[in-house]
Amino acid sequence: MAYVIHPRESRPFSFLHPAMGDRAKTHPTVTAFLQLDTEQIILRYCKEHKDVQPEALWKLLTYRPKHFRWAGGDLFPSVTAAGQREMVVVEVNSVPAGLKYMPHGGTGMDSGYHKLMGETFLDTVSSKSEPSLSSLSLAILHNKKNTYCQQIEPIAYATALADITKEPVYLVETFVDQPNIRWTDGIMEVRDVEDQWHAIRAAFRYVTQKPWTRIPLTTKTVVFNHIASDLSGGRNKLLAAVAYEDFNKQQGGTGLRIRTPRTFLRVTKAQIPTAVQALGGKAVIKVPYSNSGQGVYTVTSQKELDELMAQDLRYEKFIVQALVGHKNWSSSQWHHACTLPDEEGRKYVFDTRLMVHATPDGFRPLCIFSRRAHLPLPDTLDGTEDSWEFLGTNLTVKDTVGDSKSDTERLLSVDNKPFEMLNLNVDNLVDGFVQTVMATIAIDKMCCRLVRPDNSFDFEEFVVLGEEGKILEEIYDLSDTTDRS
């Protein structure tokens, strides 16, 4: 159903996850990073990476994406064999969660929610919306279950948008089996609690599970981010890898490169054992369209490979990557930097999510937080381990009734004490920001390749790039439907 969120007058704005507590404050290192302007970022990055052309980096940081304007980069803080600290791209997400883990001060009018709505979403709406739709309403779409922690961010985005526009905003629950939206001549309509339908001029999409099954690829209503950004890499690990390869070729000679582990693309299930063997028996296998840590499998032994091969993996083609592990047994050119040792000397794998958004003046960081694995990283392996326990970092877990929830005990926010455990400095964060921006641009360029000038989607090119029947069936089901309720 769609609920109406009205503009606030003087109510305080928090919308932090309860795990953050009431006194959460951003660590001084993170504050210093967030205060850097574009020129300062370029100076710091080029000082650490002397082969990088400053002009090329300026062009990227001020790039204005056409379709993909808000992204979350998941990065492994890693170390090369030569001891160099580098941020490595795990994936980029087109509907990233995490602002509920980012402290903000005052009344919250400077929160990441307000920055994204005011500096990016409304800028997109003003540049893309049709004048004839200007009298229609705004909406926030989400597919989060009806629990407080799950709905913090959708409600926060709706509240921020209502604050800024001074108009009511529809907050719409949209699930695969209960979409609560329909399309009439390309215009989105949402159903309210009284079963009345309301036309929408622009919608902010916080829908993570197969959004292409209920949102068309071509619409008159502005949808942010565009669904094509999901299929071009934001929810499609296969095309993301292709996009990164294309980007790195285009940046040849500039010193700029998206860092990813060695990757095999379009691997059939029968070919997975051969690809794993080529990586020394230790690899990561990814289902292209999964998210929230689902459909990602770490293999460090024959036992884990056999267990993987016994599963129904649903899709036909997969990605196999070198595994970033301990320096003693990593199959990648990097190994994990890990947290600082705890009182018992244990170190944990962690990743860092760095959320970025495109403003009229260029890309800016929006949110940072980290997540650690459940168990410490072992120095050696004996072939009996469940490697996900010490390599998997995603916080999403299933509860006793099968619903998703967040394991916030493993959250490492940028609050003072948790951030200290990460041993990250300003230059590490700058490196992560640049990697995230480059990966976001790569996916936007892929999106531009697949969205024609008339805004139709190029399915022929999509197939040429290696897509498969099952995902096409899901997309076509909606593309052939003009009115879906």
pLDDT per position as a tens digit, 303-356: 999 999 999 887 788 999 999 999 999 999 999 999 999 999 999 999 999 999
pLDDT of residue 414: 93
Is 90 exceeded by the pLDDT of residue 37?
Answer: yes
pLDDT of residue 482: 41
Look over the chain and give the mean of its residue pLDDT values, rounded to a whole number.
Answer: 90
Paired residues of 137 in beta bridges = 200
Is 70 exceeded by the pLDDT of residue 9?
Answer: no
User: pLDDT class for 292, splitting at 50, 70, 90?
Assistant: low
**Structure token digits, residue 105:** 């001060």
Q: Mean pLDDT lowest for which of 56-60, 74-78, 263-267, 287-291?
A: 287-291
Contact yes or no for 102/369 (Cβ under 8 A) = yes
pLDDT of residue 22: 72
Contact yes or no for 323/65 (Cβ under 8 A) = no
Higher local confidence (pLDDT), 160 or 482: 160
Q: How many CB atoms lie within 10 A of CB 404?
A: 17
Is 80 exceeded by the pLDDT of residue 302?
Answer: yes
pLDDT of residue 11: 54
Is 90 exceeded by the pLDDT of residue 483?
Answer: no
pLDDT of residue 13: 62
Give the Cα separation of 190 and 139 in Å (integer). Answer: 8
What are the residue boundaries of the structural domains of the chain, listed by start?
A: 2-12+100-233+449-479, 27-98+235-444
Q: How many CB atoms lie within 10 A of CB 8?
A: 16
Q: What are the angstrom distances between the C-alpha of 449 and each of 73, 233, 235, 462? A: 21, 12, 16, 9
Contact yes or no for 373/385 (Cβ under 8 A) = no
pLDDT per position as a tens digit, 15-30: 888 888 777 889 999 9
Mean pLDDT along residues 395-423: 77
pLDDT of residue 476: 55
Is 80 exceeded by the pLDDT of residue 272?
Answer: yes
β 85-93/169-173 pair status: unpaired
pLDDT per position as a tens digit, 235-255: 889 999 999 999 999 999 999
Residue with tokens 């000082």: 47
Contact yes or no for 267/320 (Cβ under 8 A) = yes
Give the Cα separation of 114 and 8 in Å (integer). Answer: 13
Beta strands (DSSP E) in 269-425 are 283-286, 296-299, 317-322, 334-336, 350-359, 362-372, 396-398, 404-406, 411-412
